[in-house]
Amino acid sequence: MTAFGMTHPADASSEAYAPLVARLSGQRILVVGDVMLDEFFWGRASRIAPEAPVPVVEIERESYVLGGAANVAANIRALGGLPFVVGVVGDDLAAEHLRDTLLRWHLEWHGLVVDANRPTTRKTRVMVNAHQMARFDRESRQPIPADIETTLMRKVDAWLPEVSAVAISDYDKGVLTPRFLRHVLTHARQRGLPVALDPKPVRFASYQPVTVVTPNHHEAALIAQMSVTDEASLEAASRRLSAMLGRAHVLITRGEAGMTLYEAPGHIHHIPATAREVYDVTGAGDTVLATLILGLSAGLTLCQSAHLANRAAGVVVGKLGTATVRPEELLAGQALVATPAGR
């Protein structure tokens, strides 16, 4: 098969990808879901604490990067797209850091709605000698109240006429309530916009109408309620997930095994992984969602978009911490510069 029809394009040249990557620039995408702040403390440990058998970490610096739906937006921006983010933050210092980080990316932050009764979702990682030692999460998973839902719907309605596709990032933090989710999906369908959604099993049946969902292989097995051990069972699980969502497309991310794209019965593509070295898988799903929806927005086929997303995932796992992919890295198929978390 040719490089973009294709089941095994891993060796496709940069020249073959170049016209596709060029089309991603300027695409306007609405990003909806659970925005987060990823906070990193970087340090070194050379001694054990006297009061307990734990290392003493001497913090040398700290950095803030976008996480969750905000990281999807950052990846879209890094690839030349124009994302608009709609989500919820608390009335706290983490929200200020998140807004500041959005501004550094030249991203609009007025789509963030403040709920003073919940914290901004924040993940704090302690990194010692380039390895993650611990993670601390501060969050609420309670569903947002009706007045916040209504405000979010107005934000979505204001931006839908300005975009050509929608990405939905569900981290199960209470923002994507059934009412809000139904509003976004229904209005996107009415406008004929493609929607790519990174799902959570607990809400899977509610993800319709949708164009394509991007579960990982563990989530796919859980949702399909079956063991996934080979390509035959993977295809059966994909078929079941597609049927649950009214014949939506399914892109299953499989880590070191690559991805599997299910478009319809008899149309399934197993895409091998392209990562040369894996340093950190943090945020790789965000990169996949961002690249996939950019491709669909640009008019690429689902298969072309999936191959670009697979290539982008292979780049981002070669970086340390929550990271993004630039067009030149997507073309090269590898991280060109070792980029620590933070921008």
Give which of 115, 182, 176 is closest to 148, Cα–Cα. Answer: 115
Residue type at 148 in one-letter notation: I
Torsion of Cα atoms, 60 then 61 then 67 then 72, to 10°: -120
CA–CA gap between residue 238 and residue 263 (Å, rounded): 9
Active site residue 11: no
Angle, CA of 300, 302 and 306, to the nearest 5°: 100
Read off the DSSP letter of residue 24: T
Distances in Å between the Cα of 18 and the Cα atoms of 15, 23, 83, 126 are 5, 9, 22, 38
CA atoms of 201 and 19, how far apart (whole Å): 36
Sign of the CA dihedral running 285, 286, 290, 293: positive
Q: Which of these, 207, 206, 188, 200, lies nearest to 285 by C-alpha position?
A: 200
Choosing from 34, 198, 280, 286, the catalytic residue is 286
Which residues are tagged catalytic? 286
